[in-house]
Structure 1
Amino acid sequence: MHDIRSIRENPQAFDAGLARRGLAPLSSELLAIDERARALTTEVQSVLAQRNEASKAIGAAKARRDDPTDLMAEVAALKERLPQIEAEQKAVAEELTARLATIPNLPAADVPRGADETGNVEQKRWGTLREFAFAPKEHADMAPALGMDFETGTRLSGARFTFLRGGIARLHRALAQFMLDRHVTQNGYVECNPPVLVGDSAMYGTDKLPKFAEDSFRTTDGRWLIPTSEVSLTASVADRILGDLAEPMRMTAHTLCFRSEAGAAGRDTRGFIRQHQFEKVELVTVCRPEDSDAEHERMTSCAEGILEALALPYRRLLLCTGDMGFGARRTFDLEVWLPGQNAYREISSCSTTGDFQARRMNARYRPAGEKGTRFVHTLNGSGLAVGRTLVAVMENYQQEDGSVAVPEALHPYMGGLTVVEPTK
């Protein structure tokens, strides 16, 4: 959510930020609504003051035994007028809030300008691409023999659902446990187990509503299935005033996630990359504004550490203004190498939102030695998407006989299993 006071103070900077997003200027429109709202607020205050003065005058007139009829008529007229003005003021204020809620975050100064993914900037590459003695397969072609059953998943639930069995299911579980353990024991995140069903306020506060309602699943009782545990973890500080936040609040969770993929028709229809139901280990940080840029780099490095521990080659991209998410101020994408596709594919996005989400959630902290409060900064990232990591392991560790070697880092989680063999 944008701060209307900041827009009032520097409308040119606001419009310049929108222009970098490829959007038309909006400050004039927003400030016109804001001016109406403030004028109506002033009018409400004026009517209240007039009513109070008239009421006092009635008391004084009665004390003097004067006729208060005219004053009483004035008070009655003011009482009748007040609800009308208050209703109009509320409607205009709600109009402003609703308008602000649909405008994306402004990009940080170091975000490159670009219209789409072609404007992203590669910042680094890590790892050596494996040289195969055979033609590597895409995971979808290996999957059925290894227990990744697309047919049964589709029969049970429809397209973009998968049924895992045997060693491949265990490997999937091992990946999630390994990620979570590493983030807790080495990276300093606090393990959480949040709800996967949330209300409107949690979705709104993390900028998933109102703009992206069609991308999520809603239950018959009005709750939402989380698209990522960013929603639950970040919203846990909604409507709270935290302490000094001398140390950032870092949280991690492994949860089921659900996305309708409403805008993804025809994309990644084969395989396990884009599912309606999937698992992810999420990273969320709540911190002071002055710490958020360093935390963004730290969070991204934590996600990279998982790929490096699994010896999966990857590259880091700084997303351009046209490819960033709605709530992001800056985003780093990690793309893992998939030899079967001969391409790098996204496996993690790590974003800082500044105070964009905090304003929607009313999440604040109280700096040491200060009476007032300030909005926190929030960050979120995938550490990592479990299913996509499984795909990367399958393609990078595939053997000519159709089996998949288990990465050494996962051996303690596999009960002695070092190779996932084809079951058919």
Structure 2
Amino acid sequence: MKNKYLFLLPFFFLAACLGFAQGSTEYTGGMKVNLNEDGSKYFRIISWAQFWAQHSDNETLNSFGNEESDLNFSIRRARVLMYAQVSKRFLILTHFGLNSQNASNLHPVGKSDSSQLFFHDVWGEWSLNDNHAVGGGLHYWNGISRLNNQSTLNMLTLDNNRQSWATIGLSDQFARHMGVYFKGKFDRLQYRVSINEALTNGLDVGGIPGINNATYNGREILGGKDAGKNFAGYFDYQLLDQESNFLPYKVGSYLGSKKVFNVGAGFFYHPNGSVSLDGNNNFQGEDVAIFAVDAFYDAPVGDKGAAITAYATYQNNDYGTNFTLGQTYETGSMLYAHVGYVLPSKNDRLKLQPYLSVSSRNIDAIDDNANRFGIGGNLYFSGHHSKLSLEYANQKYGNLDAVGTVTLQAMIYL
């Protein structure tokens, strides 16, 4: 048992080599190409990939009743993002890639759904003035919380808290809605609000509602007139250094390069988003309403490169009466927090950041809780541009057995 995780050593070595090949300088982000002499017209390209080696003690069987491997490799993300400032007032952004590609969804000639690239974001934006803008398309200007607007380039933990991406596949395409958004700031108060189309063929398509049992397929059953639109917003007040809201992707950890303390609140509201049956077995719409409050702190500690990052949120989820789907989406409430600390070091080329995360969900449908604990660390070779992450997570859902998972991630991004 003590040699159980020796398989991780080659990946530490490989990723370390890749990391040092990138150099120790912090990048400004992507490749920028100026289109005029003063640089006011330009486009920028950012590319990143995350490779996972994962060991789980959850025993699963294939269709023939034979046990699956407990060690698996996957590409967690492979993405390309490009945005262009075509004039002082107009911006266009496109973002495409794939997610969670593994042995079970690879295809012999790369034609399965999971093997295909798809657009994550496609939107255009017009600046009304220096502080406010309006845009539209397939966008990521979400509501609810900071984590529902999280960048996947610079997370503190190995991955985002899954339940914070609270509408993925239910009303949107991979956390992106098709709609119109407004964003900006009033002094230290930043805001983002949006009006969006709801997905017709969501994850709960074909779900069968019951009495005291809602399914999230209101648009499919009730139609677009009654259940076609949803509304979202997030507002955060920035007490210390102000963050950029040029793009929607919230930074997970600044590694001490800024001193940030924000408090925020947000919501998601989908009228008639879910459906249940009344006493006469007739369909009745139920509003989906999610709201959260959160706080984020990131600051240097001392003068030797140490830094702390901390985040906490409370989220209330109402997907409809006793709604639950796949141990991921449930009507109930959630508390989540994480904290990380960049250790002081005289070596500017390496940074080590251990972290802890914890979440507790109260679930109406099973009248019980789901709890998750994570402990891990990030080894940075060039900030978030070249890093290794190792995490052990233990999750218990209701009265089911707890499942432990060890994941090693190697990440590079330009």
Would you say same fold, with TM above 0.5? Answer: no
TM-score of the aligned structures, taking structure 1 as reference length:
0.25
Larger proportion of strand: 2
Query: Could you say which structure has the greater relative contact order, defined with CA pairs below 8 angstroms and 6 or more residues apart?
Result: 1
Which is greater in Rg?
1
TM-score of the aligned structures, taking structure 2 as reference length:
0.26
Larger proportion of helix: 1
